[in-house]
Structure 1
């Protein structure tokens, strides 16, 4: 196994030989759960998270959609304030005001549903008032296996028209419907980025001739930018921007710092917040803070020369599911620029205070209050929306409550 991984990794400095000697590339016993089967007993995070009781959180949950969403995955706002919500079985819903329209948007492509697969992210074009374009990521099934696609289409009333597949991952993979990534984002450079998971095939993350375990970068028409880090190399795919990822489930380029950020799920422990750079190798599975689900060792190393360390990590895993940067005037001023992370296993909203690229504080809210939080979004007017996970999922909005502020008897720090 080690020699095969080394031959495909693109690492030529001899580092991989030493790293791979400690690897045990065993698959989890519960590959489809997107939860931790067990958790380490201790945490290696320097500053432990602070759990904020609901009684001290001066905001209330307003339920916008009550249990009517089927396996929702992502939210996005249109310029007129309407919200789009994807459902993995293939639904694209519209929330208008505080009401979900009864009809789904038509013209959504046929998706391959199973495990974590299906219709995934939705991204609104930056020039939507003129283009009416949306971008969708989804799992596509074909005779040779399944791939992750990006579809570009125009929204015309309640229908998608002028549809064009602008990206398809390679190679097609059979019988691997979990740990697929799928988040879309525009970067600070205006390029379109997509996360792709390793689909529980660890060695793919270090193989530069494989899109698995990568973040890819394209133009919004699907063409490859000339300044992508591996353009012109015969041993690498030109769309790859960064590699060595396990399952990136959050991606943002609008934090206001001119940088690209991602959160990804580790195995049993080792979820990560990463600052994404061109050509960067983020180490999976050569280094990790996690173990296999049966407690066997993946790697004895958590850091190594030539590999990019995470900015922040979680042990035990919280199963990071989304990432957003807060802007607006609804929350206190000290929330501005903070990162908000939805979690599945953690079943809470994580708030990270980030200063000069360093996480200085972690707070957790709504712990075990609404269940698994699949996605977090911030509206143009600064309200935070939370999308739960499951076959009968709900949508919530956080709203300030003066009574709770008085009850807390202190400002939110």
Structure 2
């Protein structure tokens, strides 16, 4: 204001003016709760199959909200791997978050609505952090499913409690290895470095975070990165009134569905581009190995004493990568070439371009202007009040406070490539040459 209009105003007056403008643009946060039920009615008419639930208390004060778009539900049920990322996200509006807290009750409410959509099966896998309320709700509502841990959250806990670079390096190798004997060797090294860190990993349950001992099919999904990406995408929108926040999510989903549908339709390969590249690399690496037939189904693949046995009929390999990732490893790739079989038939259908196209074949449609909404009076006349919260005076913080361990780890710089968050020991990036 001072630079552009030569008007001096106080900080508090500038903030009040900003909040007043935002209320003119988006409506007040209080009114947004009342508008939410009407919005759900309209978005359901525009997108058939969309499921919404609003939970209120005995005084009609807002508690929880659930939304799943029809196109997303049908795309997931038919074409996507049955793996679901679960994580929480903190909102920044004047009424705090959508739920009161990450409690047993809130997670059970959310997952019970999810179960009504997708059901329960032995093929279903959840990936989350180690929050006990999530584990408890999943075990109660999805007894047939499997539950694995995000190794990135395990890594953060190790940084907070032990902050030992050697332990972190060994942990990531142990969590992602495919062989049980390699895991046991690495865990022995962790025990020698830090007995306390080894005890923490043991108490967490090896099958909970170690890929090779996990019961179920989590494919190559070891982290909650997708959920973290969604949190990052909503960084600015999390301060919007609730109806505007949901509409922002719908518009982002509309954009993503269109972009992915266009990319999928342009794909001319049998697998998605990423999996085509991985399969090509695996095939090229497999050509360096020797193959020998053992039986009609078994093939020995390797060099010298470093060999593995591949069973193409059962789609397994003694290295265990084939059956865990559901895509041929280097040994299976060499065995298939030796036996004259195509690699594409050994890949999971979830990696195919047809499934990619099917997942995003539908459209998420926009919502009409608010002046054009036609909503039954029963919905508009039912009051929804904002939740009762108490916020401290002044401007609320917009950035999460990081612990001192997060600061130390995030500023670590690799001396090999110059990037942050890792060191030269774990670096896989191209080396950067420095001019004299």
Shorter-chain TM-score: what band? under 0.3
Select the structure of larger CA radius of gyration: 2
TM-score (normalised: structure 1): 0.23
TM-score (normalised: structure 2): 0.22
